[in-house]
C-alpha cells in the first residue's frame, strides 16, 4: 500500500502529466521522483487506509523470545540460575538456586536480560555469561533534541549497507547493535574495545567527529602497534588531525529602532515650494531652459577637468624618497659601530706602547754608581 506522501506525489505527477502538452518532457525535481507503475492504475485507491490484519504478525511481539527461551534457560541452568518468562506481564525474571556457586553470575544473568530486551539475538547474548565478556548499553536518545537530526546521525553510525558498523566491529573486536534509542555493545574492557565504541558513538551523536575519522585513527594505531620500537613512544605525531569546519551563517540585518515620539515627522517641502524659494517659479520657460543648459555645461567642464587631471597624473614623475625613520636608525647604528671600533683601536695602541716601553728598559738605571749625580741646570728667566 502506498503511503499518504507517495499518494500526494503521485496525484501531483498525474496532474502535471495531464496539463503538459504532448511532445514535451517536463523535468521533475528530485532524484527519485519518477513515474511508478501503480500511479496510473485505476483499481488502486491511494487514499484508502486498510485495517490491521492479525495475519500480518501471527506470532506477536514475544514470538522470538518464546522460541529462544529454551536456549537461554539451558545456558543459565549450567550456572545454577533459574529463569522465568511471563508472557502476560511481558517480564523476564532470574533468580539464584541452591546449586549456584558463582556469586557474580546473577549480575551476568541480569545483563543477559538487558541484552535480550534490546533485541540482541539469544546465541550472541548468552556469551555475556563468560567472565571475559562484558556489555555496555549506550543511551543516545537524549543526546539530540531534533528527531530528524537524530535519525540522520544514527544512520551515519551505521553507514551504507552497514559498512561503517562492520568496520568498527572489526577494529574494536566488539559486537554492536543499534536499536531504537540505545546502542548495545559486547566486548572486553581489557582491549579497550568497549571504551572506544562508547567514544565513537557519543562523538557521532554529538557531531564532534565522524565515525570514518575514528576508523582511520584505529587503523593507524593497529599498524603502529605491530612495531615494538614505537611501543613506548607517543603516537600523536602519526595520527591525522581533523579540523572541524563550521560554515559561518550570515547574521540577519536588524534595523536600529528609533526612539518613539508621539509627534509626526516634519513635512518635506514640495517641488513648487523649492522653486518659490529660489525664485525659479516666476521665471519664463526660456530662462529656465537657459539655466538648465548653463548647469549642464558647468557639470561637463568639471568632469572634463577631472578626467584631464587623471590623464596627466600618469606623466608626473614620482617624488624621491627622503631618509625615513628606518634609514636614520641605520646611520645611527653605523656611527655607534665606528665609535666602538675607534675606541678599541686606541686601547690596543696604548697596550702596545706599554709593552714596548717595558722591553726598552736599561739595566744601568737599576745599578748604584759612585759618581755623584749631576746637578740640574736651572732655567734662567729674563726680566723684561
CATH (domain of 110) = 3.30.1370.10
Same domain, 160 and 93: no
In the chain, the number of structural domains is 3
For the cut 90, the answer to whether the pLDDT of residue 337 exceeds it is no
What pLDDT score was predicted for residue 74? 92
Which one of 198, 225, 243 terminates a domain? 243
- Which residues, including other chains, have CB under 8 Å from residue 23's CB and lie 6 or more apart? none
pTM confidence score: 0.50
Q: What is the pLDDT of residue 19?
A: 43
Residue 179 falls inside a structural domain? yes
Q: What is the pLDDT of residues 82-96, one digit of tens each?
A: 999 888 888 899 999
How far apart CA 164 and CA 211 sit, in angstroms, is: 7
Higher pLDDT, 33 or 342: 342
Query: Quick one: 160 and 174 in the same domain?
Result: yes
Q: Is residue 201 part of a domain?
A: yes
Between 151 and 353, whose confidence is greater?
151
Residues 230, 279, single domain; the answer is no
Dist. CA 17–CA 28, nearest whole Å: 11
CA distance 109 to 82: 10
Does the residue 53 lie in any domain?
no
Lowest mean pLDDT among 15-19, 180-184, 285-289: 15-19
Mean pLDDT of all residues in 367-372: 49
C-alpha cell at 173: 573486536
- Taking each helix axis from N to C end, the angle separating 193-205 and 147-158, rounded to the nearest 10 degrees, works out to 140
Overall residue count recorded for the chain in this entry: 384
For residue 88, being part of any structural domain is answered with yes
- Which cell numbers hold the place of 86? 511471563
249, part of any domain: no
Which of 308, 338, 357 lies at the terminal end of a domain, its last residue?
Answer: 308
Q: Strand pairing of 91-96 and 175-179?
A: unpaired
Q: Looking at residue 199, what is its pLDDT?
A: 94
Is residue 1 predicted with pLDDT exceeding 90? Answer: no
CA dihedral sign, ordered 103, 106, 107, 112: positive
| Mean pLDDT along residues 199-208 | 92
Do residues 143 and 115 both lie within one domain?
Answer: no
Residue from 71, 74, 67, 109 nearest 92 by CA: 109
Q: What is the pLDDT of residue 202?
A: 94
Per-residue model confidence (pLDDT) at position 34: 73
Are 153 and 112 in the same domain? no
Q: With 0-12 CB in 10 A as exposed, 13-18 as middle and 19+ as buried, what is 200?
A: buried
- Any idea which of 75-79, 172-176, 323-327, 364-368 has the lowest mean pLDDT? 364-368
226 and 277 together in one domain:
no
Mean pLDDT computed over every residue of the chain: 80
DSSP state of 228: G
pLDDT 10s digits, 110-146: 999 999 988 899 999 999 999 889 999 999 998 998 9
CA-based nearest residue to 106, from 76, 127, 135: 76
Q: Which three cell numbers stand for residue 158?
A: 551505521
- Tell me which residue range forms the domain holding 99: 60-131
Q: Which of 193, 75, 182, 199 is nearest to 133 (CA)?
A: 193
- Does 183 lie in the same domain as 110? no
Are 193 and 281 found together in one domain? no
Do 156 and 93 lie in one domain? The reply is no
Residue 227: inside a domain, yes or no?
Answer: yes
Per-residue pLDDT, averaged over 268-279, amounts to: 89
Of 198, 228, 243, which marks where a domain is finished? 243
Residues 168 and 226 in one domain: yes
Name which of 14-23, 92-101, 374-383 the model is least confident about: 14-23
Q: Are residues 142 and 209 in the same domain?
A: yes
pLDDT above 60: residue 381: no
pLDDT above 90 covers what percent of the chain? Answer: 33
User: Residue 355 — pLDDT band, cuts 50, 70, 90?
Assistant: confident
Q: Is 239 found in the same domain as 146?
A: yes
The answer as to whether 22 is a domain residue is no
**Confidence tier at 251 by pLDDT (50, 70, 90):** confident
**For residue 195, is it within any domain?**
yes
Confidence of residue 360 (pLDDT cuts 50, 70, 90): low
Amino acid at each position: 500500500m502506498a503511503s499518504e506522501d507517495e499518494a500526494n506525489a503521485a496525484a501531483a505527477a498525474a496532474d502535471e502529466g495531464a496539463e503538459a502538452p504532448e511532445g514535451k518532457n517536463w523535468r521533475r525535481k528530485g532524484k527519485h521522483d519518477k513515474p511508478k507503475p501503480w500511479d496510473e492504475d485505476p483499481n488502486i485507491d491511494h487514499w484508502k487506509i486498510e485495517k490491521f490484519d492479525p495475519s500480518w504478525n501471527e506470532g506477536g511481539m514475544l514470538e522470538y523470545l518464546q522460541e529462544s527461551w529454551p536456549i537461554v534457560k539451558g545456558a543459565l541452568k549450567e550456572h545454577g540460575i533459574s529463569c522465568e518468562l511471563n508472557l502476560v506481564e511481558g517480564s523476564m525474571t532470574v533468580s539464584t538456586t541452591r546449586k549456584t556457586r558463582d556469586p557474580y553470575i546473577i549480575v551476568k544473568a541480569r545483563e543477559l536480560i538487558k541484552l535480550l530486551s534490546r533485541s540482541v539475538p539469544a546465541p550472541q547474548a548468552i556469551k555475556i555469561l563468560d567472565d571475559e565478556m562484558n556489555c555496555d548499553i549506550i543511551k543516545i536518545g537524549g543526546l539530540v533534541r531534533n528527531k530528524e537530526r537524530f535519525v540522520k546521525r544514527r544512520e551515519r553510525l551505521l553507514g551504507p549497507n552497514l559498512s561503517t558498523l562492520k568496520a568498527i566491529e572489526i577494529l574494536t573486536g566488539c559486537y554492536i547493535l543499534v536499536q531504537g534509542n540505545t546502542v548495545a555493545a559486547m566486548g572486553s574492557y581489557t582491549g579497550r574495545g568497549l571504551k572506544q565504541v562508547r567514544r565513537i558513538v557519543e562523538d557521532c551523536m554529538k557531531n564532534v567527529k565522524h565515525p570514518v575519522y575514528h576508523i582511520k585513527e584505529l587503523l593507524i594505531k593497529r599498524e603502529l602497534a605491530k612495531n615494538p620500537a614505537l611501543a613506548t613512544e607517543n603516537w600523536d605525531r602519526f595520527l591525522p588531525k581533523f579540523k572541524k569546519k563550521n560554515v559561518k551563517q550570515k547574521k540577519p540585518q536588524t534595523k536600529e529602532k528609533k526612539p518613539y515620539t508621539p509627534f509626526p515627522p516634519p513635512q518635506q517641502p514640495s517641488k513648487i515650494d523649492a522653486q518659490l524659494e529660489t525664485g525659479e517659479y516666476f521665471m519664463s520657460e526660456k530662462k529656465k531652459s537657459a539655466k538648465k543648459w548653463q548647469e549642464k555645461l558647468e557639470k561637463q567642464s568639471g568632469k572634463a577637468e577631472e578626467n584631464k587631471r587623471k590623464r596627466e597624473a600618469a606623466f608626473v614623475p614620482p617624488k624621491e624618497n627622503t631618509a625615513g625613520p628606518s634609514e636614520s636608525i641605520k646611520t645611527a647604528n653605523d656611527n655607534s659601530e665606528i665609535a666602538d671600533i675607534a675606541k678599541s683601536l686606541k686601547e690596543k695602541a696604548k697596550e702596545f706602547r706599554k709593552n714596548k716601553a717595558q722591553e726598552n728598559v736599561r739595566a744601568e738605571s737599576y745599578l748604584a754608581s759612585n759618581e755623584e749625580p749631576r746637578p740640574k741646570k736651572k732655567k734662567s728667566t729674563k726680566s723684561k
